[in-house]
Structure formats: C-alpha cells, structure tokens
Amino acid sequence: MTDMASLMEDRAAAKVISDKMHKPVDWDSPKIARNIKKRYAAERRFKIYGLSAIGIALLALFVLGFSIGSKGYSAFFQTYVQLEIHFDPAEIDPQGTGDPAVIGKANFDGLIKQALRDRFPEVTSRRDKRDLYDVVSGGASYDLRERVLANPNLIGQTRKVWLISGDDFDMLNKGYIDADVDEGSRRLNDKEISWYNTLVSSGAVEKQFHARFFTSGDSREPELAGIWGAAVGSFYTLLVTLALSFPIGVLAAVYLEEFAPKNRFTTIVEVNINNLAAVPSIVFGLLGLEVYLNVMHLPRSAPVVGGLTLALMTLPTIIIASRAAIKAVPPSIRQAALGLGASPVQTVTHHVLPLAMPGILTGTIIGMAQALGETAPLLMIGMVAFIVDIPGGALDPATVLPVQIYLWADSPERAFVEKTSAAIMVLLAFLILMNGLAVYLRKKFERKW
C-alpha cells in the first residue's frame, strides 16, 4: 500500500502549496505584451529564413539554367558565308570522266580559297591570305564535294554557295568577339574584321540552323563538332547497363524480399547494398579499371566496359526501388495465390511482379537517368579519348554525352563554350524526359491498397 500512502502524502503537500502558487498570470501586463511581440518577431524571422533558403535553392537553379541557356542557344545556329564558287572543270574533273571517284579526290579546298581570293583581291601577303582562308571552315570543302557529287551538272558553272564559316568568324558574328577592344587582345585582327564587315554589308553572312551539331561526331574544329557520336556512345553504354542491372537487380530484390531467410548472408547483402549506394562513383571507376581492363583485358574506351561499370553503380538504386515496390504489394494477394496451390515462384511471377512492375520500372528509369549523367567512372576506363567516328557497336571506342561535355569544357576555343552549353541542354533534355516518364508511370499506376 506504499503507493496509496505516497499518494496521500503528495496530496497533502499539494494542498499546502496550491493556494500559495495559484496566482493567475496577468496576460495583459506590458512585460508579457513585449514578450509576445518579440516572439512573433522571432516567428516571422524564422519563417523568412525558411523562405529564403528555398529562394536560394531556386535562385541557384535559375542562374544555372539561365547561364547554360544563354550561353548555349546560339550553338544551334551557325554562321554561313556566301561565296561565288567557280566549279572549275580543270580542277574537279580535267578529263571530264564524270567518275565519282575522280570528283571525290578533287581539291575543293582550292576552289574555296580561289573564291576567297577573288572576293578580296587586295589580300596579297601570305599571312593575310592564311587569315583570309580561316573565314571559311576547313569542313566546307567536304560539303562542297557532297554537293558536286550529288549534282555533277554543277561542274563548269559559277554559283553562289553558302559555306560554313570558321569558328572565330562565327563567334564574331554571334557577338562574342568585341570589335571595339584593342586589336592585340582579341582573336581577330582589324583586317579580318574589315572583311567581315564587307561580307555583312553585301548580305553574304547569315546564320542557319546548325543540323551538323546533332549529326556529327567530335572534331577539333568547333564548327564541325557534333554530339551524335557521344549520344550513340551513351546509348550503347546505357544499353549494356540496362541489360545487366535490370534483370540482376530485379532478381536480387525478389529474392531478398520474397525468399531470403533471415540469416547472415541476407544481412551482409543488405548492408552491402546500402553501402554501395553511397560509395563515390569514382571508386567504381577504379574498380572498372582494375577488374575489367587490367584483369579481364576488355577493350579500353568501349561502351561495354562503361556499361559494366555503371551497371554495378545502378544496381543498388534498382534493388532498393524494386524492393520497395514489391513490399507495397499487399500480403493478401500472395495468400490468395498460395491458397490456390500456386508455388512461391509462381506466386511471385504471376502476381507480385506484375503488380510491382510500375514501381520497379520507375526506379529503373531513375537509375538509368543517373547513369546517363555519370562522368567520373568513365574517365577512369578511358572513355575520354578523342573519337571522331560514330561508334558502331558496344565494343568500338566511344565517349558519352557527359564526358563529351567535360572534354569540350576543357577546350580553349571560345566556340566550344557554346557547344558545351548546347550539349548540356541536350543532356538535360534527355534527363528531364526520363524523369518525366518516371513521374508519369508513378502517377498513372499509383495504387492505394
């Protein structure tokens, strides 16, 4: 009865002090009023901190987007220069054979140079001439050849032709080179700028949509460089990643969620998955370098190695998402299937997996989006090589979009800045597309049990 006794004591004690203490607070006193005011001010301040934190984050996002967009949009257009080209038969096809092999070997570069000299007859010195030839890109002669091969009737004629301009000229036309600064501190000298002005005043300079940016591989010349090679490389890399990480990830998730007994092995696997999800990506690059290249001697720079490396990185994402999706399928469905005599494997393949599939796919797409944006591990396995050709398969040397961005960002030419930004815009467009798809899937198949 000690409980009761102590209770009685407490009550006695409480009685004594109850009257002493109970003096109601005067809520209207100036002191309390001041305090309330202070507290509300603190409340407002706190709210402002929160709002400005979100403001900072959104501002950063905006500045990031704006700086990329404003630097990059101009890359989708390219300056072209109109020249009067004389398709001299003596140069292109002296014998008049009409044989494409002969025409293909002709010196179209010479035709362009001739046209430039004709346009600016006052240019005589060797150095000035060299500068003059830079008005037109080195790649223009290939375009000219294609044009003549497609239409051999041109031979012998004189036509006005739009030719892709050199990168400095392009930068000047886009306003990135300021003609007003001191001659010594800009890429183009006064003469070059005067040629530009002459061409502009005769309407021989214009910007056209730059389709080549989307269709060609890398190049040392900014005006000829494109992202198609890197995009194809990314495609093969992701294909390998998906082919490996999706089945392995889903099977592992099914095992861990549906079949695994609670034992040492399962615990180790779970701890491993959680930790792998947080291992820095560059460490996976070191793993790829050592295991795939040094031990297994797989080809350097190949999408297959990149895909193998990224698959290991993506696995934890897919496993974790798949497990969550499988866990969300209510046990009643499993019980129903098992109650009809289905085996556990049949229960999973016929009922659980189809119901969990939207969640699994969402997780997979998000994992793929991460893999698409990943750069560092691919640097380790040699996907940073300068590769002009479009890769034809997963074993060809290739690079990927983010690495292409890294390479261009490192290039000194001013024109690569806009190419880099434009490539980033393309990459972000892909990522937004993938994440949008994931959100759509989640919304569409979201189910409340």
Residues 225-284, interacting with another protein (CB under 8 A): 247-249, 251-252, 254-256, 259-260, 266, 268-269, 272-276, 278-284
d(CA 173, CA 178): 10
297 binds another protein (CB under 8 A): yes
Nearer to another protein, 34 or 160 (CB): 34
Determine if 101 is a binding residue for another protein (CB under 8 A). Answer: no
CA 414 to chain centre: 21
Residues 319-348 that bind another protein (CB under 8 A): 319, 343-345
206 strand-pairing partners? 80
| CB count in 10 Å sphere of residue 276 | 16
Nearer residue to another protein within complex by CB, 136 or 254 = 254
Q: Tokens representing 398?
A: 């290739």
- Which residue is it, tokens 């049949």? 346
Asked if residue 431 binds another protein (CB under 8 A), the reply is yes
In 73-189, which ranges are continuous DSSP H helix?
A: 89-92, 100-104, 108-119, 126-133, 140-150, 167-173
When the beta carbons of 3 and 180 are compared against another protein, the nearer one is: 3
Compute how many residues bind another protein; rule: CB under 8 A.
Answer: 115
Tell me whether residue 139 or residue 367 sits nearer to another protein (CB atom). Answer: 367
Dihedral through CA 70, CA 73, CA 75, CA 81, nearest 10? -100
Alpha-carbon distance 29 to 255, whole Å? 68
The rounded distance, in Å, linking the Cα atoms of 168 and 255 is 59
Supply the minimum distance, in Å, between the C-beta of residue 42 and another protein.
6
Please tell me whether residue 10 binds another protein under the rule CB under 8 A: yes
Smallest distance from another protein to CB 207, Å: 23
- Contact segment (CB under 8 A) with another protein among 23-31, 166-174, 208-216, 332-340 equals 23-31
Contact (Cβ atoms closer than 8 angstroms) between residue 115 and residue 201: no
With contacts defined by CB under 8 A, name the span among 130-138, 173-181, 405-413, 441-449 that binds another protein: 405-413
Q: Does 11 bind another protein (CB under 8 A)?
A: yes
Length of the chain: 449
Q: What is the dihedral of CA 139, 142, 146, 151, to 10 degrees?
A: 100
Q: In what order do the strands lie in the sheet with 77-86?
A: 158-164, 77-86, 205-209
Nearer Cβ to another protein (215/343): 343
> Which of 298, 324, 333, 338 is in the footprint of another protein by CB under 8 A?
298
Nearer to another protein, 149 or 279 (CB): 279
What's the closest the beta carbon of residue 40 comes to another protein, in angstroms? 7
Q: Does 444 bind another protein (CB under 8 A)?
A: no
Contact 326, 254 (CB under 8 A): yes
296 binds another protein (CB under 8 A): yes
Count Cα neighbours of 274 within 13 Å in the Cβ-side half-sphere. 5
Q: Tokens representing 93?
A: 């096809």
Q: Is 394 a binder of another protein (CB under 8 A)?
A: yes
DSSP 210-266: -THHHH----SSGGG--SHHHHHHHHHHHHHHHHHHHHHHHHHHHIIIII--SSHHH
Sole window of 7-15, 121-129, 170-178, 193-201 interacting with another protein (rule: CB under 8 A): 7-15
Strand partners, 78: 208
Alpha carbons 188 and 177: distance in angstroms, whole number:
8
Using the minimum distance from each CB to another protein, give the nearer residue, 203 or 412. 412
Nearer Cβ to another protein (154/395): 395
Of the two residues 110 and 247, which places its CB atom closer to another protein in the complex? 247
Which one of the spans 11-19, 84-92, 162-170, 205-213 is the region binding another protein (CB under 8 A)?
11-19
- For residue 322, what are its two tokens? 């798949």
User: Minimum distance between the CB of residue 389 and another protein, rounded to whole angstroms?
Assistant: 13
**Site mask for another protein (CB under 8 A), range 56-95, x = bound:** xxx-xx-xx--xx--x------------------------
Q: How far apart are CA 329 and CA 354, in angstroms?
A: 10
Looking at the Cβ atoms of 149 and 439, the one nearer to another protein is: 439
Please say which residue, 126 or 264, places its beta carbon nearer to another protein: 264
Indicate whether 42 belongs to the interface with another protein (CB under 8 A). yes
Which pair of structure tokens corresponds to residue 87? 């398709």
